[in-house]
Structures are given as C-alpha cells and as structure tokens.
Amino acid sequence: MEHDEARERLLAAAEALYYARGIHAVGMDEVRDRAGVSLARLYRLYPSKAHLVAGYLRARDARWRARLAGWVEAHAADAGPRARLLAVFDWLGRWFAEPDYRGCAFINAWGEIGPADDLVAAAVREHKELFRDYLVGLADGLEQPVDVAEQIQTLAEGAMVTSAILGGQAAVRARSAAEAVLR
Amino acid sequence: MEHDEARERLLAAAEALYYARGIHAVGMDEVRDRAGVSLARLYRLYPSKAHLVAGYLRARDARWRARLAGWVEAHAADAGPRARLLAVFDWLGRWFAEPDYRGCAFINAWGEIGPADDLVAAAVREHKELFRDYLVGLADGLEQPVDVAEQIQTLAEGAMVTSAILGGQAAVRARSAAEAVLR
DNA sequence: CCGCATCGAGAACGACCGTTCTAGGCTAGC
DNA sequence: GCTAGCCTAGAACGGTCGTTCTCGATGCGG
C-alpha cells in the first residue's frame, strides 16, 4: 500500500467517523480498523490524535468549499453578486436535507475541543476565514463587499446551527434574511 | 448543608467548569471538589453525569434568558418591536465582550454530545426553542412575527458562533443585518 | 451509654483511550 | 537460502473517567 493511499484511507475513515459521532467519541483503534491501516503507520503519518483531527478538518474544509463553489459555479456563474450569494443558501438547503447532516463539522469541533488544542483551533479558524474570503469574492461588485459578506456569513453560520439543533427550513429563512440584507 | 444548597453549589461549580473548559474535559471529581459536596450526594442529586449536564444547561438557560430579558426590558421596554429586537444584538455585543466569553454553551454542548444523549439533546433543543419563543414575543406587532423572529434568531446564532471562533465585532455586523431584515 | 442509621471522604473498580512495544511474517538483495 | 530490514496485528501500559464501595465519623432515640 502506498503512503498516500494509506493517508487517504485514514482521512476518509476519520471524516466518516468523526463527523457522524463526534471526535472524542471515536478512538484511534476504530479509525485504524475502518481505514485498514496499522496503528504504527497511523502514528507515523499523524503523530497524535490532534494531528489526525486537524488533517480531517483540513480535508473536509477543502471538499466542503469545493462542493459549495461547484454548486454556485453551476447555478449562478454568470449572475450578479446578489444571485451568487443567494445561491449559497440554496446549496445550504440541499446540504441540510442530506440524511447524514450533523451540523457544521467545524462548529462541532470547536464546541468539543475549542481553544484547548492549537492545531484543531487553527484548522477551525482557517476554515471559517476561508469561507468568509469566498463570500467576499462572491460579493465582488457590491458597494461594501466585506460588510455584506460578513453579514451573509453570519446568516449561513446561524442557519447551520439552527438546522442542526431545531431542524426545519433554516436555509429558507436565512435566504429570506439574506434577500433583505442584499436589497 | 441543605439539599437545595448542595444542588446550587453543584450547579454553580458545573456551570463554571463546563462552560470554561467543555463538558468532556471536566470530570465528576473536579465538580465535586469545587462544589465541596461529597460524591455520594452528587450522585444522589444527579444519578449520572448526563443528568448533571442537563441540570447545568437548564440552569444556565434560565439565567441567560433572564439576563437578556432584563436588558431588553431596561433599554427598550416601551419601544416598538423593531427597537426591542435590535436591543437583543446590543446585549449580545456586551456578552461577547466579557472576558470569559466562550461561545454559546448550548451550541458547544450540542457539538460535544449532540444527539448521543437524549437528556442533553432535549435541554439544548428546549433552550433554542425558548429563545425563539422569546424573540417571537418581542416581534409582536410586526406583520409576520414568527418569520421575522426566526430570521433574527438565525442572525443571533450566527453571531455567537462567529464571535466565538473569529472574534471581531460579530454583534455589530449581525445588528446591521437585522436592521435590513426589520426594514 | 449503646445501637443504629445516615452521611462524607476518599479508595477502589472496571472500562476505555491515546500511545508505545513486541513478536512474527513478508520482502529483497546477495 | 539466508539474513537484515520493514510492516502488520495486536498486546501492553499508563492515565483518566464515570461510578460504586468501604469505612469511619456523627447524630439520635432509648
């Protein structure tokens, strides 16, 4: 087995288990079993659980933002900034409706570990900053793109939380609020 | 020591420790030490850690909503629904600026435990529902109080998350967005 | 003053977790 | 074919956590 293949298998296993059940509820043995990788190799690739968790978060960040950007590209590529930003909430609605939706992995990780571990905290902060930067890019052309993007982000984060805890049509409500912000 | 006094001391200790450091990072022994209560009595009052956590969340919910309502009462009592709802964000800004602000205890608890424990999940959901109901009450007089209140809640939840992870003036941005929603 | 029930302090227990170690097997070069 | 080096599976270790147990102290009725 190649080193990169083992790394991919570990990240896939970590993502499936950590996102579904939480980080502290999943032990290293379980990740190793699912990935089919020896414990020694796991610790050679990720010298501690914090490293593995940070790797999981970074991998998920990349895939999450790629999925979001792909959707917006496909549905509002040549639209104006307002339509592009509203498309974000359409994608959120589809995400929330997935059967294995468990909220935002980064908000959850923050709640579990928070600033107690620097590696994990940095990965969470980076993800939220990159999300913000992406929204700022979508807002390009508006009068105050940064302010608008940060308000849109606040709505998106709130929708993720509300949808996870209370369910319901959180994305639709957030989209309505976003329309007001963008008017 | 009275039973009720022991209960109060336990809840105060649990709140201080759990909110500051997270739930799974604080053991029962530490709660017992800070509360000055015997372990036997702790388990007589709360037959498991989940019960204690749920008790902590319910106590915090009551105090949190009372503080919020007190502020709104004091600063926008006889104002209209728009001013009352905006006052919520002024209070959030003051809360976020407290030195020991660690985000929303309920969002954090959801991220840590989530639906894995029914007692905790129910306490979290109930808090968010009560917050929603309070906002619906503040929105009384608007055309669509429920829709507006839920959009305001989305902004508030997003502000709590963003403020905890990224810092900055999340409450101010959320307030600006709320002004747009309420226009 | 004695017997009894209650209670508190902390030891003890079993489970689990992150991490390291060990023993055995496979591979490759000579 | 043999040996040296790497890999794996899984045992082992130290620590921690939630929970229970032990045991001695204390208060009280007779």
Q: Which nt sits closest to A40, CA to C1'? A: D8
Cβ of B110 within 8 Å of Cβ of A174? The answer is no
A105-115 pLDDT tens trace: 999 999 999 89
Closest residue (Cα, C1') to C17: A27
Q: Note whether A166 contacts B113, CB cutoff 8 Å.
A: no
The separation between the first and the last C-alpha atoms of chain B, rounded to the nearest angstrom, is 55
User: Terminus-to-terminus CA distance in chain A, angstroms?
Assistant: 55
Q: Which nucleotide is nearest to A50 (CA to C1')?
A: C18
Is any Cβ of chain A less than 8 angstroms from the Cβ of B139?
no
pLDDT digits (tens, 9 = 90+) for A7-49: 899 999 999 999 999 999 999 999 999 999 989 999 999 999 9
Calpha distance B175→B183 (Å, rounded):
12
- Kindly report the CA angle at B182 between B178 and B183, in degrees rounded to 5? 115
Task: Identify the band that residue B2 occupies on the pLDDT scale cut at 50, 70 and 90.
Answer: low
Give B162's contacts in chain A (Cβ within 8 Å): 128, 150, 153-154, 157
The answer to whether residue A63 neighbours chain B at the CB level (below 8 Å) is no
Question: What is the Cα–Cα distance from B61 to B124, expressed in whole angstroms?
Answer: 9
Residue A1 has pLDDT above 60, yes or no: no
* pLDDT tens-digit readout, A120-177: 999 999 999 999 999 999 999 999 999 999 999 999 999 999 999 999 999 999 999 9
Give the separation between CA B10 and CA B45, rounded to whole angstroms. Answer: 9
State which H helix or E strand residue B62 sits in.
Answer: helix B49-76
Q: What residues in A contact B106, CB-CB < 8 Å?
A: 165
Cβ neighbours of B132 in A, within 8 Å: 166
Locate CATH 1.10.357.10 in chain B: 53-182
DSSP type of residue B38:
-
Question: Per-residue pLDDT for B5 more than 90?
Answer: no
**Closest chain A residue to the Cα of B109, Cα to Cα:** A111
CATH 1.10.357.10 assigned to B53-182: yes
If one compares A62 and B4, the residue with the highest pLDDT of the two is A62
Return residue ranges of chain B for CATH 1.10.10.
1-47
CB A182 within 8 A of CB B176: no
What pLDDT score was predicted for residue B43? 93
CATH number of A54-182: 1.10.357.10
Q: Which residues of A touch B181 (CB under 8 A)?
A: 177, 180-181
Find the farthest-apart pair of alpha carbons in chain B and give their distance in angstroms, rounded.
56
* C1' of D2 to CA of B52 (Å): 65
* Closest nt by CA–C1' to B28: D18
- Show the 3-state SS of chain A: CCHHHHHHHHHHHHHHHHHHHCCCCCCHHHHHHHHCCCHHHHHHHCCCHHHHHHHHHHHHHHHHHHHHHHHHHHHHCCCCHHHHHHHHHHHHHHHHHCCCCCCCHHHHHHHHCHHHCHHHHHHHHHHHHHHHHHHHHHCECECCHHHHHHHHHHHHHHHHHHHHHHCCCHHHHHHHHHHHHHC
Closest CA to A168 of B45, B108, B142, B129: B129
pLDDT for A112 equals 95
C1' (C8) to CA (A35) span, angstroms: 49
pLDDT at A114: 87
Range(s) of chain A covered by CATH 1.10.357.10: 54-182
Which of the pair, A6 or A79, is modelled with greater confidence? A79
Interface predicted TM-score (ipTM) of this complex, two decimals:
0.93
Rounded to a whole number of angstroms, the distance from the CA of A142 to the nearest CA of chain B is 15
Q: Which of residues 66-105 of B touch A (CB under 8 A)?
A: 102-103
What does the alpha-carbon distance between residue A57 and residue A52 come to, in Å, rounded to a whole number?
9
Rounded to the nearest 5°, which phi and psi values hold at A142? -80, 170
- Which nucleotide is nearest to A53 if distance is taken from CA to C1'? C18
As a whole number, the mean pLDDT across chain A is 95
Span of A63-77, B3-17, B75-89 with lowest mean pLDDT = B3-17
d(CA A11, CA A42): 10
Residue B28: CB less than 7 A from any atom in strand D: yes
Question: How far: B127 CA to C27 C1' (Å)?
Answer: 61
Contact B157, A156 (CB under 8 A): no
pLDDT tens, B25-70?
999 999 999 998 989 899 999 999 999 999 999 999 999 999 999 9
Nearest C-alpha neighbor of A59 from the set A115, A4, A100, A117 = A4
Identify the architecture of domain B1-47 in CATH.
Orthogonal Bundle (1.10)
* Residue listed under structure tokens 């999940």: B121
Confidence of residue A77 (pLDDT cuts 50, 70, 90): confident
pLDDT tens digits along B115-172: 999 999 999 999 999 999 999 999 999 999 999 999 999 999 999 999 999 999 999 9
